[in-house]
Structure 1
Amino acid sequence: MAGGPAQAQTQATVAPPGMAERVAACTACHGKEGRATADGYYPRIAGKPETYLFNQLQNFRDGRRQYPMMNYLLANMSDDYLHQIAAFFANEHPPYPPPVPPAATAAVLERGRALVTDGIRERRIPACAACHGAALTGVQPAIPGLLGLPRDYINAQLGAWRNGVRKARTPDCMADIAQALTPEDINAASSWLSAQPVPAGALPAASLPAPLPMTCGSMSHSARSGR
């Protein structure tokens, strides 16, 4: 074999690629360090709680979430490797860009603020802040933040839950909430959320001050798995 011993020695001294290289397929769409892309279609994955990221990777792999590129990319990955990917992006904290000025009216923004911070008691819709944290920056170990997301992305995800395209482990609390929201509610909440700046150094809260207002299968699974 031409150059056999020398070639073998060269190959033996080449270090295996680190996680930054291994997740290049992720950052190709989700942006450098997972900070999201300017078009807003691919969300920020940097700094999200590790277990939340793992749950979503697992949901794509197992078909609970549908997006052909993600389903194909993750189809044969083990839970252990999904945890490695989740841990890598959970520890990335690039700065957030400033929010895009809202196009919504003051009345729509106020409706969105009320829904996010107070919920709609008469329709048994809990406040977003009751689960995603008072600062809306997420909660460990598995609840994502809602700030720093584009309006169109928030609309798309709530619409996917509302229409049964996006799913999580049962009981699927987000599906129940989204199905109780009207299109006007979704527009108001997404308009207000996307207009809020992300505080410098924002991180997911360590815990919630009170129990979740409803049972969520993803959180129950996280507790059982110890992750």
Structure 2
Amino acid sequence: MKKRITGIVLGLGMALATAAHGAGDPKAGQSNAAVCAGCHGQNGAQPVQPVYPKLAGLGETYLYKQLQHIKAGERQIPEMTGLLANFSDQDLLDLATYFDQQQTPIGKANPDLVKKGEQLYRGGNLASGVPACAGCHNPQGLGNEPGGFPRLSGQHPDYVVKQLKAYRAGDRSTGSMSQIMMDVASGLTEEEMEAVASYVSGLH
């Protein structure tokens, strides 16, 4: 599985290197961001529910691709049904650029889960074939913009667990990047998901 993931990562890195990074207008994005605040909070930094993601600083390339998937109906999020229908592709890029430039508040990891979470994040699980999260998401959890891998640092653990379970169940399978996470999540227990999700919430 590790060879498979490595191959996908390398291929995606080359493909996404030509993405329209930096082409968005953050001011235009801010003017359209009001529709997002109801769930994701002011500047996308304080979601109203812990199962909603923090958008602030998540990564322009990642955000842009996810917004495209959601608008096209390829990634099903009931709360966002129809919200992006009148947004142009440039509007989506502007939104992604705006949110990526916002500050992400860091949470606090559960002290009881830090050791296990850190081990998984930095070293993976050799026995189950789960690779280290840091390889794609950065040792500090800051993500990898050229590769399109999102920031995890400061993300709410409830949201992270929800997404890991969705990947494991195959409910989130949109785009070639999803295959990486589906492979990873398939090797994680629920206890491991909770530990690594808690760890990244306080990672910086």
Q: TM-score normalised to the size of structure 1?
A: 0.70
* Residues 178-217 of structure 1: CA deviation (Å, up to 9, x unaligned): 11211121122112222x253xxxxxxxxxxxxxxxxxxx
The gaps in structure 2 that reach 5 residues or longer are 1-26
CA shift, 1:32, in A, is 0.8
Runs of 4+ displaced beyond 6 Å: none
CA shift, 1:36, in A, is 2.3
CA distance in 1, matches of 2:189, 2:97: 35
Partner of residue 157, structure 2: 151
Counterpart of 1:173 (choices 139, 158, 180) is 180
CA shift, 1:76, in A, is 4.5
Report how many aligned residue pairs link the two structures. Answer: 176
Determine what percentage of the aligned residue pairs are the same residue.
Answer: 35
* Residues 151-200 of structure 1: CA deviation (Å, up to 9, x unaligned): 21111111111112212313621111111211121122112222x253xx
Partner of residue 130, structure 2: 125
* Residues 89-125 of structure 1: CA deviation (Å, up to 9, x unaligned): 12223x515x2452x63xx432221110001123221
CA shift, 1:74, in A, is 1.9
8 Å contact kept, 2:124–2:131: yes
CA distance in 2, matches of 1:175, 1:75: 28
CA distance in 2, matches of 1:38, 1:144: 21
Matched, 1:139 2:148: no
* Residues 117-149 of structure 1: CA deviation (Å, up to 9, x unaligned): 001123221100000011111111311111111
8 Å contact kept, 1:64–1:166: no
Matched, 1:182 2:192: no
Partner of residue 26, structure 1: 36
Counterpart of 1:92 (choices 87, 102, 118) is 102
How has the CA–CA distance of structure 1 residues 18 and 188 changed in structure 2, closer, same or farther, with 3 Å as cutoff? closer
* Residues 59-83 of structure 1: CA deviation (Å, up to 9, x unaligned): 2122332212323212353322211
Counterpart of 2:169 (choices 149, 163, 166) is 163
- What one-letter code is carried by the residue in structure 1 that aligns with 2:93? H
8 Å contact kept, 1:159–1:178: yes
Partner of residue 20, structure 2: none
Q: TM-score normalised to the size of structure 2?
A: 0.77
